[in-house]
Amino acid sequence: MSGETLLHIDGQLVRVKAGSSVAAALRVAGGVGVARTSVTGQPRAPFCGMGVCQECRVFIDGRRRLACQTVCAEGMRVETSE
Amino acid sequence: MTLEHCDLLIVGAGPAGMAAAVAAAPSGASIVVIDDNPAPGGQIWRDGPGATLPPAARKWRDALERHANIRVRSGTRVVAAPSRNQLLLEDAERGWRLQWNRLILCTGARELLLPFPGWTLPGVTGAGGLQALIKAGLPVEGERVVIAGSGPLLLAAAATARAAGAKVVRIAEQASFAAVAGFAASLPRWPGKAVQAITLADAQYRTSSRIVSVQGATQVESVRLRQGGREVEIESDRVACGFGLVPNTQLGRMLGCALTPEGIGAQALAVDARQATSLADIYAAGECTGFGGSERALAQGTIAGHAAVGNEGAAKQHERERARWNAFAAQLGRSFALAPAIRQMPQPDTVVCRCEDVPFSALADCSGWTDAKLHRRCGMGACQGRVCGDAAQFLFGWTPPAPRPPLSPARIATLAGLAGPVDVDRQ
């Protein structure tokens, strides 16, 4: 894996190492990588890192997916959720 | 909706699943391996821009690729079991049904993640979770990291974080010095593990230490720890917590496989000497049958793979190796048993169910898991009680009932496949 991938997170252009997960890209985009807002309005970021906790669910190209289990692809559009 | 067929379906492409597929392949059976991660290897051999795959992982991956009768489907989840020998699957693009003659469950384990004040703050992750995120490219260079919980995974996570440029400022192990020393003293029985332990030794390691709380306005700023008899507060940017592993038995339970008898710790899928579960045609291998590391998973997977294609003789040859690693697993379990004080971590306002934001105080008077679910919405969110269900089992002794489909959140188009392949195709 070499090179870089460019994707959009909430409209912002983000550059990551090729092969990075969307969870990593959330952090690269700035802050601590918040993925969603909880039902009482708290910010939540990737937690289990392995597809169990669902805290990193975001919209990727219009579909709700887990950021920790999705590899960044060129031109991907990611929207943080709720 | 498409209906595909295979002789042998293996769920999970970690060490157990890889070994099972490779053992079964010479039989000529058509084999499908599905896994929800982007690449085979499981958690221990997770690939990515921040990972360095050990030679063993490469070897098994190459072996998978060498066999034309093994098809690996990464990024694929199990949604349901529409009929006795079929699973409904989903990937990023589509849903489909897969019919199998033999099934091997290699669904692994997940971390036991327990609630404490501040555990929902961004910057708090699982210990194995942090490792996985770093391997997948999470930048942690220059960050101060505290790792807390129990078990050798804490040291492994610390090593990964440090290699990625983080400053590991504390590793807090809840087990006593005597317990950890006893474990270390037993390691010469497993020489490979002893070498590993030496390479992971760490000056920031403290025993009889547990997390009290994490502070921060919008993200982690500091961690309070109880070390022996005193409390210390450490400035930190990131906290990784893991309290051991819980066998991932969801799919096995949904299919009706029996669990091991209730004892100390989480229950696992019950298997016999051939790695067969209580159901004919369904085998299980690796951490879903109890945690014990990759070597045990490889031995079990090899036995399951041979047994599933009827090669009992070859299966038998790996029994000694399995026994050796079973003994290691037992030693691990004894040494890092969680102290009762860990149950005192949550405060009344500590969120237990992270999906529905249910606080500890709302659960204290519940009669059991179903009551908590129906009346407090605990476990009703997207993770379907995988995090808070394990926590509640540990904190209150509640046993969640067998999971019902859908096993993971799925798209409507996939769920429509439950109506039957023919019905859906007509639409």
ipTM for the complex shown: 0.97
Instruction: Tell me how close the Cα of B75 comes to any Cα of chain A, in angstroms.
Output: 8
Query: Could you give the C-alpha distances from A43 to B78, B164, B217, in angstroms and in order?
Result: 29, 25, 11
Q: Which residues of A touch B34 (CB under 8 A)?
A: none
B52-87 tens-digit pLDDT: 899 999 999 999 999 999 999 999 999 999 999 999
Rounded to a whole number of angstroms, the distance from the CA of B384 to the nearest CA of chain A is 9
Query: B322 with B303: CB under 8 angstroms?
Result: yes
Residues in chain B closer than 8 A to A33 (CB atoms): 122, 138
Say what the pLDDT of residue B264 is. Answer: 59
How many alpha carbons fall within 13 Å on the CB side of residue B155?
A: 16
Across the interface, whether the CB atoms of A49 and B133 are under 8 A apart is answered: yes
Say whether pLDDT at B265 is over 80: no
Per-residue pLDDT band for A30 (boundaries 50, 70, 90) equals confident
pLDDT of residue B422 exceeding 80, the answer is: no
* B180-194, B201-215, B365-379, B382-396: segment of lowest average pLDDT: B180-194
On whether any CB of chain B is under 8 Å from the CB of A29, the answer is no
**Residue B201's CB: how many other CB atoms inside 10 A?**
10
Peptide bond into B406 cis (omega under 30): yes
| Residue of A1, A4, A5, A21 to mutate when probing chain B, most B C-beta within 10 A | A21
- Cα B241 versus chain centre, distance: 14
Q: With contacts defined as CB-CB under 8 Å, which chain A residues touch B49?
A: 1, 17-20
Residue type, B162: R
Q: Is the pLDDT of residue B199 over 90?
A: no
User: In chain A, what percentage of residues exceed pLDDT 70?
Assistant: 96
Query: Which of A49-63, B128-142, B387-401 is predicted with the least confidence, judged by mean pLDDT?
Result: B387-401
CB atoms within 10 A of CB B274: 15
Would an 8 Å CB–CB cutoff place A46 in contact with chain B? yes
Residue B173 token pair: 């192990």
Q: What is the pTM of this model?
A: 0.94
Q: Counting beta carbons within 10 angstroms of the beta carbon of residue B422, is it exposed (0 to 12), middle (13 to 18) or buried (19 or more)?
A: exposed
What is the predicted pLDDT for the residue at B188?
84
Q: A51 and B37: CB-CB below 8 Å?
A: yes
* pLDDT score recorded for residue B417: 87
- Residue B402 confidence (pLDDT): 86
Report CB contact under 8 Å: B386, A47. no
Confidence of residue B425 (pLDDT cuts 50, 70, 90): very low
CA B32 to CA B30: how far, in whole Å?
Answer: 7
Tell me how far apart the alpha carbons of residues B121 and B93 are, in angstroms, rounded to a whole number: 32
pLDDT above 80 for B426:
no
**B198 has a pLDDT exceeding 80:** no
**A31 and B CB contact within 8 Å:** yes
Q: Residue B381 phi/psi, 5° resolution?
A: -90, -165
Nearest to A24 by CA among B49, B145, B62: B49
Task: Kindly list the residues from chain B whose CB atom is less than 8 angstroms away from the CB atom of residue A53.
Answer: 113, 354, 383, 386-387
Which residue's entry shows tokens 């101060």? B144
CA distance A24 to chain B (A): 4
Shortest Cα distance, chain A CAs vs residue B310, angstroms: 33
Per-residue confidence (pLDDT) for residue B130, from 0 to 100:
98
Measured from the Cβ of residue A44, the count of other Cβ atoms closer than 10 Å reads 26
For B138, name the nearest residue in chain A, comparing CA atoms only.
Answer: A24
pLDDT at residue A2 in the model: 64
Q: CB distance A24–B133 less than 8 Å?
A: yes
Is residue A39 less than 8 Å (CB to CB) from chain B? yes
pLDDT band at B189 (very low <50, low <70, confident <90, very high): confident
On average, the pLDDT of chain B sits at: 93
Of A32, A47, A63, the CB nearest to B126: A47
- Per-residue pLDDT band for B242 (boundaries 50, 70, 90) equals very high
pLDDT of residue A81 exceeding 90: no
Per-residue pLDDT tens for B108-127? 999 999 999 999 999 999 99
Contact A48 B110 (CB under 8 A): yes
Distance of alpha carbon B60 from alpha carbon B14, whole angstroms: 10
Asked if B38's CB is within 8 angstroms of A48's CB, the reply is no
